[in-house]
Amino acid sequence: MELHVWNRAFGLPSLDPECLAAIAFLSIAIPHDLWVLVESNNAGLSPNGALPALKDGARWIAGFDAIIEYVNTKSSGRSNIDRSLSPLQRAQITAYRSFIRKTCQPIVSLSLYVTPKNWVTVTRPLYSTFIRFPLQYEIPHTHHTRAATLTAHLAPLVRELGSTGEDDAAKQPVSTSFANLTAGSKSSQEKDAAEEKITTRVKLRNLLADVLDPIREKLRAGQHRNHLLGGSGPTTVDCLLVGYLSLLVYPDLPASWAKEIMQREFADIVQYTDALRPQMFPDGVGYQQPQAGDELSVSGWVSRGIEGLPQKLLGWDDGIPLDEAGLKQPSSAWVLLRGVLGVAAAVGSVVAYRAFVGTVVDVEVEDEIGAPVYAAATTTSAGTKSTQVAVGVHGGSEEKGERLPIFRAEDMLGLQL
């Protein structure tokens, strides 16, 4: 059997919590020579459009819950790690799975994707290490969008995380910061930033405590402190929980609030994760390259993308079909029509964009006298450092020697001055 997952990262076998949970389950439940890990990173393979997905011959099984069910039936119960549980504990398994997903998904998304510092310096660059050129822009973007919708209810917290201290210096008026006139009041500003951070930290702590307090209480109530339901062995809930918690505990991030809060206040839960980690993510798991047709390819992605374009661009929503038949029902003519519509919309938007932007860019580039001013102005708008602005204004003649690049990334973003 092949388990298709997202790529390894942070010293863990995958960067996705559900994939980690599936890996943990297979590591515990079945012998290592019966399955291999495939880092295909190709969500299009999965029947439900998301990884993890298990490939057994020609059959595809998608999602953590379905994988467990399939493996248990296939091994006729021998690999069922929940078999010794009472009926009430089985009911708890269903309940805790939904509890862990509901509470942990927003936190993991917040930590890895939505906290701007972590996203820009760690997570986004991480994707380009294992996905090649055109797709390395699209795939992390869709993951980031999903993370943003999952954390939509935490909007004030997200804003606070985005505005922590350091970039305040750039927001000072140029004149005062250049002359160091505000040096005296700077300490008070820093104090404000620090205070802001404390309130943010308290909110983050409460967010984590919302999940970890019940988990801690449950762990303490059981006989066996290392398993959530108190049994002698780990259950599927432990797999899921470790999948989510390890993405909070192990990655080294620049804004490492999750790690710090957990190590300071929830050391027992970090210990629980540490204790289960070697068992759930062992070294001996075999890896395999994706077979022909399973690897992530531009053509496969493009054909799926074109089919989905009308929904994306025109806000068209098909709804959710009742069953699998509804999922594959669209006739080829319908798909073709959608493809044509999607391409037309894409071409139209490119034409419209060029008509809108093209003329302005030409003027800026052709204007020789305007060049140094343009250069100075762009540095101001970038807000990098106030001293650079001073150089740009006073030493304009120095910069005149350099040719303005014809193509600037800022122009592509439509940030015209």
Partner 1 sequence: MPPAARRPDDGSFFRAPRFIRVLFGAFPLVTHPVDPLPERDRAPADENSAPTTTLFVFGAEDGQPSFNPACLKWQTYMRIRGVDFRTEPSSNHASPSGALPFLVVEHPVRSQPPQTVPASKLARWIEDNAASSVNTVDVDAPDYRAFSTLLDTSIRDAWLYAMYVDNTTLHTVTAPKYTAATPIWPVTALLAGQMRHAALASIRNSTSSSSAVTTTGRTLYAQAEDAWAALSTLLGQDQWFFGARDAGLFDASVFAYVHLILAAESTGSSSGAELAAGLRRHANLLEHEARIRRTWFS
The residues pairing with 38 across neighbouring beta strands, listed in sequence order, are: 4, 288
Closest alpha carbon to 239 in 116, 394, 87, 79: 79
Q: Which 62-91 positions form the footprint of partner 1 (CB under 8 A)?
A: 62-65, 87-88, 90-91
| Helix pair 17-29, 87-109: axis angle to 10 deg | 140
Tell me if 319 contacts partner 1 by CB under 8 A.
Answer: yes
**Residue 179 or 314 having the CB closest to partner 1:** 314
CB-side neighbour CA atoms (13 Å) of 149? 5
**Residue 218 or 259 having the CB closest to partner 1:** 218
Per the listing, tokens 């409460």 go with 206
Q: Are 4 and 42 in contact (CB under 8 A)?
A: yes
What torsion do the CA atoms of 39, 41, 47, 52 make, to the nearest 10 degrees? 50
Draw the binding track, 145-184, toward partner 1 (x: CB under 8 A; -: no contact): -x--xx-x--------------------------------
State in angstroms the smallest separation of the CB of 92 from partner 1: 7
**Residue 252 or 324 having the CB closest to partner 1:** 324
Calpha distance 92→82 (Å, rounded): 11
Calpha distance 20→51 (Å, rounded): 10
- The first and second tokens of residue 130, run together, are 């294992």
Per the listing, tokens 């295909």 go with 40
Per the listing, tokens 């801690």 go with 216
Start-to-end CA distance of the chain, whole Å, equals 56
**Dihedral class, residue 185 (left if φ above 0, else alpha if ψ from -120 to 50, else beta):** alpha
Q: Are 374 and 411 in contact (CB under 8 A)?
A: no
Q: By CB under 8 A, which span of 119-127, 214-222, 249-257, 335-343 interacts with partner 1?
A: 214-222
Residue from 112, 208, 215, 280 that binds partner 1 (CB under 8 A)? Answer: 215
**Residue 101 or 186 having the CB closest to partner 1:** 101
**Residue 149 or 223 having the CB closest to partner 1:** 149
Tell me if 350 contacts partner 1 by CB under 8 A.
Answer: no
Residue from 11, 278, 326, 348 that binds partner 1 (CB under 8 A)? Answer: 326
State in angstroms the smallest separation of the CB of 42 from partner 1: 13
State in angstroms the smallest separation of the CB of 202 from partner 1: 19
**Residue 48 or 185 having the CB closest to partner 1:** 48
Tell me if 98 contacts partner 1 by CB under 8 A.
Answer: yes
State in angstroms the smallest separation of the CB of 94 from partner 1: 4
Calpha distance 407→365 (Å, rounded): 9
Tell me if 376 contacts partner 1 by CB under 8 A.
Answer: no
Q: Which residues here bind partner 1, judged by CB under 8 A?
A: 16, 18, 43, 47-50, 62-65, 87-88, 90-92, 94-96, 98-99, 101-103, 105, 146, 149-150, 152, 213-215, 217-218, 221, 317, 319-324, 326-327
